[in-house]
Amino acid sequence: MIQIACLTAGDITRASSRLRSFYLFEKSYLYNVSVERVCEFRNLFRYKHIHIQKVFSYKLLFLIILLRILGKNIIFDLDDHSPGFKNFLATYSTLFFCSVLTFDTQPRKRYWSKFLFWKKMHVIPDTADYKSSQFPKLLEIKDLERKILWFGHSSNFESVSNLLKKILSVDPQIEIMIISDNDWSRRWSSQCPEFIFQPWSLDFENFLVSYNGFVILSHNGLFYDKMKSDNKMVMALISGVLPIVSNTDSYLSLATKIKGEKLIFNNYKDILKILDSMTIDEAKSIFHHSHIFIQQNYSKEKVLESFAKIIFK
């Protein structure tokens, strides 16, 4: 049996760690792989294969160099990075010494291939975000109510808040719910009374399945934002909620593949048009095509298969 040690940026409540480590290796037994969650750096020396999910520190960088000298196979996974020269230098230094690099999107891989040896780079998509061991069944279509949900990290709310306020200025009857970090949601609920704020919880998946409105998802189109993945769009679709998404790379690509081009918006007026014009038959068609495509490309088994072909060939 192959043993692989895993270091993650957070626990299972952190989306990137959940999708790119915990869910990724959930069925590692299918490939005769044993996964060990390692908390202390000193324990890494026991393992031949080490998977690091977006952890950065000078201590870890030194350890990676030492582990590589000892012949260890270091797989570093990167699904996000911050702007600024210092952040770039820290990321570059870490990636440079690793054996294999995995990225969440092709644009992110293309960016880093300008600076690092491209043959050790691979794209491993985020797994679809679902708790159960089996891929979710295609859900029956719910009523398409004029309600909007936005969910995500609090640091991204500012980029979408003006868009949501413009929608309310045209139609104040639209219910808009915001789900984000617990403390942040409680703090902002008094500052933006026009929105309904709810703290995120591990039960969010069940909440989304029962929600009968639309989800708004927006990448702001800036340089680093264009590299982001479509994981929130995937989660909405498998939960039976139509996502209205910005006209940016990953969202546009997925929308095209599932015949959901109508879900793309460029401004708040487009969102209002989608709310008014989307029919049940159109929604059923989008869900049908998305369910097939997502299962074939984003299920835990398929993503792990892609990873195994690269690492354990």
Written as tens digits, the pLDDT of the chain (313 aa) is 889 999 999 999 889 999 999 999 999 999 999 999 988 888 899 999 999 998 888 888 999 999 999 999 999 999 988 788 888 999 999 999 999 999 999 999 999 999 999 899 999 999 999 999 899 999 888 788 999 999 988 878 878 888 999 999 999 999 999 998 877 766 677 778 899 988 888 788 899 999 999 999 998 767 777 899 999 999 999 999 999 999 988 999 999 999 999 999 999 999 999 999 999 999 999 999 999 999 999 999 999 999 999 887 6
Tokens of 229: 């993945």
Query: Domain 147-297 is classified in which CATH homologous superfamily?
Result: Glycogen Phosphorylase B; (3.40.50.2000)
Round to whole Å and give the CA distance between 265 and 279: 17
Burial class (CB in 10 A: 0-12, 13-18, 19+), 181: middle
Residue 50, pLDDT score: 96
Round to whole Å and give the CA distance between 64 and 46: 14
What does the angle CA 73 – CA 75 – CA 79 come to, to the nearest 5 degrees? 175
Residue 224, pLDDT score: 76
Predicted structure pTM score: 0.93
Residue 41, pLDDT score: 85
Round to whole Å and give the CA distance between 256 and 276: 21
What does the angle CA 156 – CA 103 – CA 220 come to, to the nearest 5 degrees? 25
Angle between helix 280-298 and 231-238 (nearest 10): 120
Q: Which helix (H) or strand (E) holds 217?
A: strand 214-217
What does the angle CA 249 – CA 109 – CA 259 come to, to the nearest 5 degrees? 30
Two domains, one topology: 2-124 and 147-297:
yes
Count of CB atoms within 10 A of residue 292's CB? Answer: 12
User: What architecture (CATH level 2) is domain 2-124?
Assistant: 3-Layer(aba) Sandwich (3.40)
Beta bridge partners of 122: 102
- With a CB cutoff of 8 Å and minimum separation 6, the contacts of 243 are 214, 215, 216, 217, 232, 233, 236, 237, 263
Q: Which of 18, 23, 6 is nearest to 303 (CA)?
A: 23
> Domain segments of the chain: what residues?
2-124, 147-297
Q: Which of 138, 160, 294, 159 is nearest to 215 (CA)?
A: 160
Question: Within 13 Å, how many C-alpha atoms sit on residue 142's CB side?
Answer: 19
Round to whole Å and give the CA distance between 77 and 195: 36
